[in-house]
Amino acid sequence: MVLGCSGGGGGNDDATAATEGTGVATDAATTAPTTSEGTGEDPTEGEPADCEGPLDPGPAPLRRLTHSQYNNTVRDLFPGVTLPLQTIAVDPKVNGFENNADVQTPSALLIEQYQRAALEVTKAAWASPEAFLPCAADGGGEPQQCGHTFLLDLGARAFRRPLTADEEAAFLGFFDQQLAETNFTVALQLTVQAVLQSPAFLYFLEFGGEPIEGGEAVALTGHELAARLSYFLWDSMPDAQLLAAATAGDLDTVEGLAAEALRMLDDGKARGALVNFHRQWFDFDGVALINPDPATYPTYTPELRTAMRAELDRFVESTLFDGPGTFASLLTSTATDVEATLAALYGVDAPPPGEWAPVSLDPGERSGILTRAGFLARTAHAVHPSPVKRGVFVLARLLCVPPAPPPANVNTNPPDEGEPGQPKTNRERYAKHTAQADCASCHVTIDGVGFGFENYDALGRWRDLDNGEPVDASGALIGTDVDGSFDGAIELSQKLATSTQAHDCVVSQVYRYALGRGTTAADLCSLGDLRAQFAEASGDVHALLLAVVTSDAFRTRKGAP
């Protein structure tokens, strides 16, 4: 519905990364989120041809730990030790996500970072070796036995499975050689560094086990499932209980897998992992790039920006774990947490300095995450809000229809403010710009959504007037299942909260993130089943997570040809 600008697809998620947050008035459909599928359309929309035939779990690309997964994993490998965060390059984002295997191409820089990280992790860990070693820091009376015991345990946890006989021989043999030439500490540190740079640690090596009858799929082994489960729900390595369940065969059944998933969702690590998913989906990190014009927004401070960013994390966690836990509640809740600077922006009572407090925002001004200051500031320019950025975001991230980029010869700069005869309000400026023949076919859809946010300035503050003129926040959804006019972002959020298309898009986003890849036509049957389960659960996010981990697509992979 929004491909008319170029006659084809588009929607590169980070195509405008260089201009985002700079204050440059580059405002076009190129702010659409990246999609690995290469078109503005979702290739998994439509009816599956045959869901009764042989199981096709879709592609199975080789995935690697993300930067956050790396840091979380080394943290859990050395409990009781404080480790510095390691700098690991963030791979190109696809649909906003950092874990897409299709773009995880190793580079010389990345290899160097892994080497440096292994050195720094072991150096920091050995500041408190008593926290994890089964013997004295110098190896005690039997350093070889102590080293072997520690390395077998560390290796099994790092590789998310028991070491093979060849791996045991290689790592223990290396340790023994270094022990003979140096001392216990040096030998053990060097061997641990080798473990932390091994492909079995850095990559998810999935070979599968038993073939599924009548198709090309093979069932994942218990330890492969444990790794998929833990990095999806915890963004980190499996714990001892999950590895034990894998060894015992408990993950080989849907019931056993669901039981472990329920346990894991009750763990505190699930909160951080689900917030991390939303950080990528809603681009929370974009808040760090905002640069409001100081003359226009003299009350803006870096402390306010920090609070905007922190509020988004707090809002997602409290809504999904302590609140209703539904997708609709993310779009409609007026509850949030504030500190002093945010309280002033929202016009609510401030807590004591340095503290956060729960508040209920004015329901006439705020409704869910799309009306939070962080989102609104992240989708604005230095002086004016951007209906284009806001409209594109909703279309791409919440409705899964990223607009195509504009033609190369189109001027994407809105008219300058203050030019003789130019419109006075932000809406009028953009309406004039998008009325150009080359732009109108796309912008009637984009701006129909984006104009609904005109009550919020570039800092996310509520406004009734724009340059002395009454704000017009009327908008319209076009080409969706909830088409029609609306007045303001609150009505827009309410429409999206009831939209089947938006709920289906949530399923696609979670599915992509869980499997670390884009969706293809092979995923139609799996997605159709998951969307039906999500609808039956009234949009409960935890129910969706459980449905994903117990799905055939999650529990299997395509076998070797």
Q: pLDDT grade, residue 31 (50/70/90)?
A: very low
* Nearest one of 268, 275, 260, 204 to 229, comparing CA atoms: 260
Q: Which residues are 326's β-sheet partners?
A: 540
Q: How far apart are the first and last CA of the chain?
A: 38
Count CB atoms within 10 A of the CB of residue 79: 9
Question: Which among 380, 395, 393, 397 is positioned nearest to 460, based on CA atoms?
Answer: 380
Q: Which of 117, 89, 118, 116 lies closest to 103 in space, CA to CA? A: 89
Is 497:328 a contact under the CB 8 Å cutoff?
Answer: yes
How many angstroms separate the CA atoms of 182 and 189, rounded? 11
Predicted TM-score (pTM) of this structure: 0.90
Q: Which residue has the higher pLDDT, 406 or 357?
A: 357
CB 35 within 8 A of CB 402: yes
Q: What's the CA gap between 209 and 224, in Å, rounded?
A: 10
Report CA-CA distances (Å) from 248 to 14, 118, 157, 234, 252.
Answer: 44, 32, 16, 21, 9
Q: Give me the pLDDT at residue 215, please.
A: 76
pLDDT on residue 27: 42
Distances in Å between the Cα of 431 and the Cα atoms of 50, 297, 387, 455, 468 are 45, 24, 10, 16, 18
Q: What value does the mean pLDDT take over residues 130-159?
A: 96
Q: What is the mean pLDDT of the chain?
A: 89
What's the whole-number mean pLDDT along residues 428-439? 78
Q: What is the pLDDT of residue 442?
A: 82
Taking the C-alpha atoms of residue 299 and residue 307, their distance in angstroms, rounded to an integer, is 14
Whole-angstrom distance, CA of residue 447 vs CA of residue 388: 6
**pLDDT value for 4:** 31
Neighbours of 87 (CB within 10 A): 12
Pick the more confident residue, 484 or 13.
484
CA–CA gap between residue 234 and residue 136 (Å, rounded) = 32
Helical spans, DSSP H, in 78-164: 108-125, 143-158
Tell me, what's the pLDDT at 187?
A: 98
Average pLDDT rounded to a whole number, residues 167-184: 98
pLDDT category of residue 210 using cuts at 50, 70 and 90? confident
Who contacts 454 (Cβ-Cβ below 8 Å, separation ≥6)? 385, 387, 426, 427, 466, 471, 472, 473
What's the DSSP call for residue 288? Answer: G
Q: Are 1 and 449 in contact (CB under 8 A)?
A: no
Contact 150, 78 (CB under 8 A): no
Q: 31-40, 204-213, 349-358, 459-468: which range is least confident on average?
A: 31-40
Torsion, CA 122, CA 127, CA 132, CA 137, rounded to 10 = 100
Report helix angle 240-248 to 222-233, nearest 10: 150
- The owner of tokens 């290689």 is 170
pLDDT digits (tens, 9 = 90+) for 447-462: 999 999 999 999 999 9
Q: In this structure, are residues 312 and 369 in contact, taking their beta carbons and an 8 Å threshold?
A: yes
Q: Confidence class of residue 433 from pLDDT cuts 50, 70 and 90?
A: low
Report how far residue 93's alpha carbon sits from residue 100's, in angstroms, rounded to the nearest whole number: 7
Q: Cα 513 to the chain's mean position, in Å?
A: 7
Q: What percent of the chain has pLDDT over 70?
A: 88
